[in-house]
Amino acid sequence: MNNIAISAGHHLTKQTAADVLLSGGNAIDAAIAAFLVAWIAEPCMASGGGGAFANIYTANKKAYLFDFFCQTPQIKRPASDLDFFPILVDFGDTKEEFYIGTGSTATPGSIDGIFTMHQHFGTIPMKELVLPAIAAAKNGVIVDSFQGHDIGLLRPIFEASTQAASFFIDGKLVQKGDRIKMPLLADFLDYMGTEGKAAFYKGEVANNIINTHKKKGGLLTQKDFDDYKTIIRKPLSYNYNNTSVLTNPLPSIGGSILILLLHYLGKIDPKKSPKSYAHILEVYQAMKKVVRIGKSTKELYAAIRKIVPNFEYSPALSSNKHGSTSHFNIIDKWGNAVALTTTIGEGSSNFVDGTNIHMNNMLGELSLMPDGYHSWQPNIRLSSMMAPTIVVDTFGKPIIVTGSGGASRIPSAIMQVLNYLINYELPLNEATDFPRLHLEHGIFNIEYGFESPLHSKEIDDKVLAWKDTSMFFGGVHSIYKQGNQYVSKGDERRDGVAYSKT
């Protein structure tokens, strides 16, 4: 196989990756360029002020997990000194409170991450990889339906900022069909392409951020920026039905939950219809076991240790949040594969002056603070449910490259797509579109499309039967080795897009 394939959350992110691959770049080059474009095309999910994870599997069968997620600040200030205030986001089925403001921001890793990836695997100069994003920032990007929906959800955050000018036209918040331009970001990216990551972590931009945090109730200092480093980890690996599933290791918890779900699901009889009542029960029982042990961190780690050789304990914070998260996958003609998932939380409403960069609000996520707001420990890498995943066959060749947005639903959404691909051998389109299940907070959510309603005594949680498909169940974008070619599929629940070319 020597074809290229891409799946992503936005057509411009996808097209940018394709252009880089077709011009001779590798999957890592394409991932860097696509990620930068996502800062404009998917502005509620991606930013230089956020963080990400990149699962990279090289053509010579080497596996790496680049952790450039957000880090807690090194110095704490009294809560009364912080710019830290609540906003309410209306998700339709529920309302959720988040805290935003300068004091909600952890040290961003996005920019350090792309330069670390480039240092290890990049083949095209960074000053060229920034060009598509510069063009998008100058010319603007038309807001699609999914981005318009997300921008509408986060209206209170944009309205709380005097710097969010890119998100308003004639005083009105942009919506589907409007064009977002970020001219200041274009200038910053041009500068960054020449100066490297120091363009953000040192000098004028860093001083701007640090002074804002000092004067306006924030926490970040130059030492936070000086000490931030992307961590290259060994992916968590689990042998599942003649494949090796490579996913996000600790301290993030999403990959561990995915592995446990697959373990408890076990080997499925493909003769049993995946829409059947019996299969629903199998998935429910696997989810129930993970929910039960997930209430105790020690039990969770003990369960993983039993099934993953050489598993090492690491302190982790659980994540259970709505979040604004995006994912894309790329495989190049040489067989290098990248799965990258990113987020800025909901955003802090603080945009860095002169850059259009929206800073994260990771410290304003109660779910990341198990003992309450401001309970975080200084200078640790935050945890996440994000689980970019690559599955390889017995010959060490990638057969699935996948990941999802969807916060706490990420592991279960990915698990179900893997189940349909590995156990049932469904085509990728069918496996992605197939209805999904999710158990959380004592509610067993059943997406529309299964054969019959549940009425079993074996289900002791409340059953919620959805009347339609929904972004609640994630957005699993994937690449799959189907026959002798890689095919790709974007999840329509989140307006996903795909591209492949021989």
Which residue in the list 105, 116, 212, 325 is annotated as catalytic? 325
Please identify which residue in the block is written with the tokens 């710019």.
83
For residue 501, the surrounding DSSP H or E stretch is: strand 497-501
Cα separations in angstroms, 202 against 91, 161, 361: 38, 24, 21
CA angle 45, 486, 417 (to 5 degrees): 55
How far apart, in whole angstroms, are the C-alpha atoms of residue 74 and residue 64?
Answer: 27
Answer for the pair 245, 389: CB distance below 8 angstroms, yes or no. yes
Query: H/E element holding 414?
Result: helix 410-418
DSSP state at residue 409: G
What is the Cα–Cα distance from 82 to 78, expressed in whole angstroms?
A: 7
d(CA 34, CA 332): 14
The 3-state DSSP class for residue 244 equals strand
DSSP secondary structure of 71-99: B--SS---GGGS--EEEEEE-SS-EEEEE
Q: What are phi and psi of 73, to 5 degrees?
A: -60, 160
**Secondary structure element (H or E) that encloses residue 296, with its range:** none
- Quick one: which of 492, 449, 453, 462 has its CA closest to 474? 492
- Residue 322: its H or E element: none
Exposure string over 203-230, b if 16+ CB within 10 A, otherwise e: eebbeebbebbeeebbbbbeebbeebeb
Tokens of 281: 């029960």
Nearest Cα neighbor of 387 from 361, 359, 415 is 415
Between CA 46 and CA 381 the distance in angstroms is 18
- Are the C-beta atoms of 4 and 333 separated by less than 8 Å? yes
- For residue 325, indicate whether it is catalytic: yes
The three state secondary structure string of 120-139 is HHCCCCHHHHCHHHHHHHHH
Structure tokens that stand for 91 in this block:
């998700």
Q: Are 383 and 249 in contact (CB under 8 A)?
A: no
Q: Which residues are catalytic?
A: 325
